[in-house]
Structure 1
Amino acid sequence: MSTPAPKAKEVTSLVPARMDRLPWSRFHWLIVVGLGFSWILDGLEVQIVAANGFAKTLGMGPVEVGLAGTFYLLGQVCGALFFGRLTDRLGRKKLFLVSLAVYLVGSGVAGLSFAPWFFYIWRFVAGAGIGGEYAAINSAIDEIIPSKYRGRVDIAINGTYWGGAALGAVASVVFLNTEIFPQDLGWRLSFFIGPVLGLLLIYLRRHIPESPRWQMTHGREEEAERNVDQIEERIRNEGKEVPPVDESKAITVKEYGRVPFLVIAKVLFKKYPRRTFVGVTMMVTQSFLYNAIFFTYALVLENFYDTPPASAGQYFIVFAVGNLAGALLLGHFFDTWGRRRMLFGTYVLAGLILLVSAFLFNADVLNAGTHTAFWCASFFFASAGASAAYLTVSEIFPLELRSQVISYVFSVGQLVGAIAPTLYGALIGDGTDRTPLFWGYVLGSAVMMFGGVVCGIFGVSAAGKSLEDIADPLSLVSGAEAGVTPGNTSTR
């Protein structure tokens, strides 16, 4: 006769309420810098590779260069899926250290490449590290940052990708200048910029605690309380007052271990089907538009406006700064005006501006500068909406599978978005006929506006709310079982 498994211990905790009522402090800036810098590394990495400085050294033509991007993308997808599940199971801190280390190794070794196949392998590894970062970092940020600031902080951090991209464009101008560095050396040195910055991040991340929310639901309530005590003490030492906690916001949870895939499926498609639809739609639409424009802007400038290849990078810097500005300046309104209103507005405005530029492009009344200005205006709004896609997916699902859901939706978005560069490259052709690309821009604007309409209708009002109020943890106990557990498939 088998012995029944011991019942999981239940604890009543104020950890979420204590974390959400904290004032902004230097501790939170540590979270922003230590965790958020990953997106700068991703933008830096993509732009340095886009400069193709390695192509001549390794004897790579356009197809081989394209494959390098494909391997990086596949690495991101695999890394997100693999590390995302481990992040929910083993903790946020362990995985945001491991994923960063994987990126450092992959990027650094790629800079030592001597053949295309070797380059592909390590680009895949670097991508896997960055993919793992997307899952682990978004989870940790949203669980640590107070609810009052969560929207603007998450959006600003995701938007710093474009700061990295601008930095990568500047670095490419310097390191790929053969008057400064030999052709075979400059591109290799540029691949070490990310790892050098990453080493500094590992040092900072060692001082970032594990998510107390994750500890609370994994049988480590004492560690969670101790971590919050230490955070509060650090804030008091800054001379700031820590408000009293509302004890009515205490929640009772029990330890929750590995989440079976069947439970994940029930949460996504039975308990929260509308939220799943919103998350996938947001990620796919923004990924499609970004990949369509980002990977072909240089071809458009060169083929339709006779812009020298060497000058395309200058236009990109302006484009990247516009994206960064949108995320930094509009993020505040996601916390004050609300998620649904801002998601609808940013997605639709981005699509409308792109649609106007499509008609002007087809009428041949734009030049390289004015077309770039329209891109900047469109992506000023799109960047905030795209960054909010990661915020939305992270906060509308239960804590115990947060990283995994991010990884699933991110992977779907990346795979669908990967179609866009090939499609738009074909529409551009040799630059003699504007009509195919015009319809491509119309498609891109329609896709983005569709995403905005979906968010406006089905989006979740999450601004200023505790994560536990937006989605019950699977481990939540309130009289009867409130979550979805292996032995209880309630879809309340």
Structure 2
Amino acid sequence: MNAPRPASGGDAVVETDVPARLDRLPWSRFHWLVITALGITWILDGLEVTLVGALSGAIHESPSLRLSSTEIGLTASAYLAGAVLGALFFGHLTDRLGRKKLFTATVLLYAVATAASGFAWDFWSFAAFRFLAGAGIGGEYSAINSAIQELIPARRRGYTDLVVNGSYWLGAALGAGGSLVALNIGGIPPEQGWRGAFIIGGVIGLVVIFLRRFLPESPRWLMTHGRVEEADLVVRGIEARVERECGKLPPVTGLPLRLRRDHRLDMMQLVRSLFVHYPRRTTLGVTLMAAQAFCYNAIFFTYALILTKFYGIASGDVGWFMLPFAISNFLGPLLLGSLFDTVGRKTMIAATYALSGILMAVSGLLFQQGTLDAVGLTLAWTAIFFFASAAASAAYLTVSESFPLEMRAIAIAIFYAFGTALGGIGGPALFGALIETGSRIEVMWGYVFGGVLMLIAAAVEAAIGLKSERRPLEEVARPLSCCD
């Protein structure tokens, strides 16, 4: 291994082999710690969204809140609006101040706001707390996805990222099971059950803060912010931990990077990178994120309303229908994820988006015709989102590995924000209004529209998708501070 050293130009330019040293590490307990302590964010988001979805029937019937179906959809949109603004605000701070410093702030905001949701007294207070909880989760996305990709070896980056993003659905399964407990405990009224579920969710968020105390700052972030000596020290610590577990480490291969120590990202560089240097990647990222955001948020936030309004399912039983749906969504990335590193990103992303879109449109037509009962509709969504979950996770993978290290967090935040704003914020409100009409035809057109969006995304991926599998991040997108 090589310590950072001045290159030609004195201290203004340094050479470092930090990326190569991280990418050649064998899988170890350190990597498990990374994906556990950081990846739990997705579990929390899945828990959060599913609780709101599964409990929406009980919240709708709450004697204290008395929310209409449209207001339920609007509170979901408030959560997503908070996530959009939180991603942009905290994403900017993550690139400026570091990945680790933002971990505590974002998860603390999420935990407090989620617990506060359990004490809401009307529509406006509930929507405000949902907005703040979303802001915390949105801020998490940029910091967490950046750090995970920067610490995981290139050969495992695709599969790891998909499974971590897919772990959202472990949280969804916990949320579905938790809703069954919250609404069916003997002697506890549903009013207290749904409120208690939010309070418990906030407490879980506080546990995450403790887990993250054991993680270092991203060495890649340190090296691109002129702190190459600190980056080297962190990597030495990681190497020592891995070597004690796995034995002698493989040799470092490849040439070191030459970086300008004094480089700082400014707004013009960000704009040029997005629209001048990487316009095709920008188009791709917006398309993939918007399509999956609309389909997931529109359908999942309002699925409980479909079950209760069109099929007469009791609000306390909605969790039984959410549970298989959530499990299938996790199995998709788990079973298909390795193919994104072997068959390749472009082929797998296009295929999963296309399959999801076709099946979604077909299921909408079957719903309109009354062919599917509640179990049949659940089975259809379970099959569709086995593929759609892998596709959605791949959208986050694409935007987080396609741009230079110095702007990675804010790029993730921008694409998450644009995708969610275009496809996610309006989706739940639109579907809530469609469901309010009581017309199966109206709801069908919402499903068909979602399917068309997924097919458009598949076509864009097939045309301009990246082949970034097993390639170092610095090779996929050259660092802005690089002076080679």
Say yes or no: TM over 0.5. Answer: yes
What amino acid is the match of 1:418? I
What are the superposed Cα offsets for residues 32-91 of structure 1, whole Å, 9 maximum, x if unpaired? 100000111111112223314556264332254444323322211111011000000110
What's the offset of the Cα at 1:183? 4.6
What amino acid is the match of 2:242? I
182 and 256 in structure 1: CA distance in 2 versus 1, 3 angstrom threshold = farther
What amino acid is the match of 2:138? G
The residue that corresponds to 1:438 in the other structure is: 444
Give distance in 1, aligned partners of 2:314 and 2:194.
21
Check whether the contact 1:166–1:317 (CA below 8 A) recurs between aligned residues: yes
The residue that corresponds to 1:385 in the other structure is: 391
Check whether the contact 1:89–1:257 (CA below 8 A) recurs between aligned residues: no
Which of 14, 29, 33 is the matching residue for 1:30? 33
The 10-residue stretch of structure 1 (170-179 or 325-334) with the greater mean CA deviation from structure 2: 170-179
Which of 280, 299, 324 is the matching residue for 2:330? 324
What are the superposed Cα offsets for residues 112-137 of structure 1, whole Å, 9 maximum, x if unpaired? 34454443333222211111001100
What's the offset of the Cα at 1:444? 1.6
Aligned partner of residue 337 in structure 2, secondary structure: helix
Check whether the contact 1:256–1:474 (CA below 8 A) recurs between aligned residues: no
What amino acid is the match of 1:36? G
What's the offset of the Cα at 1:200? 2.4
What's the offset of the Cα at 1:158? 0.9
What are the superposed Cα offsets for residues 394-424 of structure 1, whole Å, 9 maximum, x if unpaired? 0000010111011111111111222222333
Which runs of structure 2 are paired with 1:296-445 in the superposition (5 Å)?
296-416=302-422, 417-431=424-438, 433-445=439-451
Q: Which runs of 5+ in 1 are unaligned?
A: 1-5, 479-492
Give distance in 2, aligned partners of 1:358 and 1:64.
24
Which runs of structure 2 are paired with 1:144-163 in the superposition (5 Å)?
144-163=151-170
What amino acid is the match of 2:400? S
Give distance in 2, aligned partners of 1:194 and 1:240.
40
Which of 112, 115, 118 is the matching residue for 2:119? 112
The 10-residue stretch of structure 1 (210-219 or 294-303) with the greater mean CA deviation from structure 2: 294-303
Asked if 1:231 is matched to 2:234, the reply is no
What's the offset of the Cα at 1:450? 1.0
289 and 58 in structure 1: CA distance in 2 versus 1, 3 angstrom threshold = same
Which of 38, 44, 47 is the matching residue for 1:44? 47
What's the offset of the Cα at 1:441? 2.5
Which of 130, 144, 147 is the matching residue for 1:137? 144
Check whether the contact 2:184–2:316 (CA below 8 A) recurs between aligned residues: no
The residue that corresponds to 1:484 in the other structure is: none
Check whether the contact 2:286–2:415 (CA below 8 A) recurs between aligned residues: yes
Aligned partner of residue 155 in structure 2, secondary structure: coil
What amino acid is the match of 1:107? T
RMSD: 2.1
Give distance in 2, aligned partners of 1:131 and 1:372.
28
What are the superposed Cα offsets for residues 346-400 of structure 1, whole Å, 9 maximum, x if unpaired? 1011112223323433443322222211111111000011011111100000010
What amino acid is the match of 1:371? L
What's the offset of the Cα at 1:291? 2.1
Give distance in 1, aligned partners of 2:453 and 2:433.
19
57 and 252 in structure 1: CA distance in 2 versus 1, 3 angstrom threshold = farther
124 and 421 in structure 1: CA distance in 2 versus 1, 3 angstrom threshold = closer
106 and 305 in structure 1: CA distance in 2 versus 1, 3 angstrom threshold = closer
Give distance in 2, aligned partners of 1:232 and 1:438.
54
How many residue pairs were aligned?
A: 471
106 and 415 in structure 1: CA distance in 2 versus 1, 3 angstrom threshold = same
Check whether the contact 2:328–2:382 (CA below 8 A) recurs between aligned residues: yes
Check whether the contact 1:303–1:430 (CA below 8 A) recurs between aligned residues: no
Aligned partner of residue 181 in structure 1, secondary structure: coil
Give distance in 1, aligned partners of 2:203 and 2:146.
25
The 10-residue stretch of structure 1 (331-340 or 272-281) with the greater mean CA deviation from structure 2: 331-340
What amino acid is the match of 2:413? S
Which of 92, 101, 113 is the matching residue for 2:108? 101
Check whether the contact 2:258–2:483 (CA below 8 A) recurs between aligned residues: yes
Asked if 1:68 is matched to 2:75, the reply is yes
The residue that corresponds to 1:489 in the other structure is: none
Please list every run of at least 4 consecutive aligned residues from structure 1 whose deviation after the TM superposition is greater than 6 angstroms: none
Check whether the contact 2:73–2:429 (CA below 8 A) recurs between aligned residues: no
Asked if 1:269 is matched to 2:275, the reply is yes
How many percent identity over aligned positions?
A: 49
The residue that corresponds to 1:176 in the other structure is: 183
Check whether the contact 2:113–2:202 (CA below 8 A) recurs between aligned residues: no
Asked if 1:289 is matched to 2:329, the reply is no
What's the offset of the Cα at 1:143? 0.5
The residue that corresponds to 1:217 in the other structure is: 224
What are the superposed Cα offsets for residues 248-273 of structure 1, whole Å, 9 maximum, x if unpaired? 33110112554221211111001100
The residue that corresponds to 1:481 in the other structure is: none
The 10-residue stretch of structure 1 (98-107 or 203-212) with the greater mean CA deviation from structure 2: 98-107
Give distance in 2, aligned partners of 1:42 and 1:427.
25
Give distance in 2, aligned partners of 1:312 and 1:188.
17
Which runs of structure 2 are paired with 1:437-476 in the superposition (5 Å)?
437-476=443-482
What's the offset of the Cα at 1:179? 2.4
Q: Which runs of 5+ in 2 are unaligned?
A: 1-8
What's the offset of the Cα at 1:237? 1.1
Aligned partner of residue 295 in structure 1, secondary structure: helix
318 and 105 in structure 1: CA distance in 2 versus 1, 3 angstrom threshold = same
Give distance in 1, aligned partners of 2:270 and 2:369.
50
Check whether the contact 1:217–1:256 (CA below 8 A) recurs between aligned residues: no
Aligned partner of residue 12 in structure 1, secondary structure: strand
Aligned partner of residue 217 in structure 2, secondary structure: coil
Asked if 1:127 is matched to 2:130, the reply is no
What amino acid is the match of 1:11? V
What's the offset of the Cα at 1:298? 2.8
Give distance in 1, aligned partners of 2:470 and 2:167.
23
Q: Which has the higher contact order (CA 8 A, sep 6+)?
A: 2
344 and 474 in structure 1: CA distance in 2 versus 1, 3 angstrom threshold = same
Which of 200, 203, 215 is the matching residue for 1:193? 200
Which of 214, 238, 256 is the matching residue for 1:207? 214
TM-score of the superposition, structure 2-length normalised? 0.92
Give distance in 1, aligned partners of 2:371 and 2:187.
39
Normalized per residue, which structure has more helix?
2
Check whether the contact 2:225–2:264 (CA below 8 A) recurs between aligned residues: no
37 and 15 in structure 1: CA distance in 2 versus 1, 3 angstrom threshold = same
